[in-house]
Homo-oligomer: A and B are copies of this chain.
Amino acid sequence: MTEPVQPAAPIDFYFDFSSPYGYFAAEKIDALAARHGRTVLWHPFLLGVTFKVTGLAPLPTIPLKGAYSLHDIERSARYFGLPFRQPSVFPIPTQHAARAFLWLNDRNPARAKAFGLAAYRAYFVDDVNISDLGAVLELASAQGVDRDELSAVLAGTEIKARLAAEVELGLSRGVFGSPFVFVDGEAFWGADRLPQLERWLAEGGF
């Protein structure tokens, strides 16, 4: 008897909706994975929780590094060929968007990804402040989600516990930044690690 061929495991993709490098990766990760026969599980994440563990701080608040990073983000967008406009409020709390994503993802992952990309583009291209609950409901509504139903869900405690558990799980796996990707247990942090990630997939490690 021969062993049945197992399909390759999905890639895990962690992101915070306030992370521009997370936005760049979100635009690229599914096509990259598909080139190597993989699918991607998206995991919304809250960087603010990791800052308490690592002692790190949001990029714009760090002397020297903050100013460089704002410049690097704009240049990296051009490098990746992606539209980008620095949001007028940055960074922002992203709980509402992350919870909406999770709830959608449990029902329809494809729709959740469409919502996720729409939320990223709203924030990083159209300067929509997606920390606002109304903006999140509007974006979900545009993806065919029942606005009243999602509004009730986001007001409840269940989805809050769900996101907290998701973030806790990420932390326990070592996630401390965005984007953060796992391929068969191998961790890759940062949009600038996409080339290493792609080589890893192509060669089965290196």
Contact = CB atoms under 8 A, between A and B. Distances in A.
A55 B55 CA distance: 10
A50 B64 CA distance: 9
Given A174-B68, A187-B68, A206 B79 contact: yes
A54 B62 contact: yes
A192 B192 contact: yes
B56 A199 contact: no
A135 to B, nearest CB: 31
Contacts of A206: 75, 78-79
B187 A71 contact: yes
A75 B174 CA distance: 17
This protein's copies in its complex: 2
Contacts of A62: 54-56
A68 B196 contact: no
Contacts of A199: 79
A189 B68 contact: yes
Contacts of A192: 190, 192-193
Nearest to A72: B189
A76 interface: yes
Contacts of A1: none
B187 A79 contact: no
A67 interface: yes
Contacts of A176: 63-65, 68
A116 interface: no
Contact of A79 (B65, B67, B196): B196
A144 interface: no
A177 interface: yes
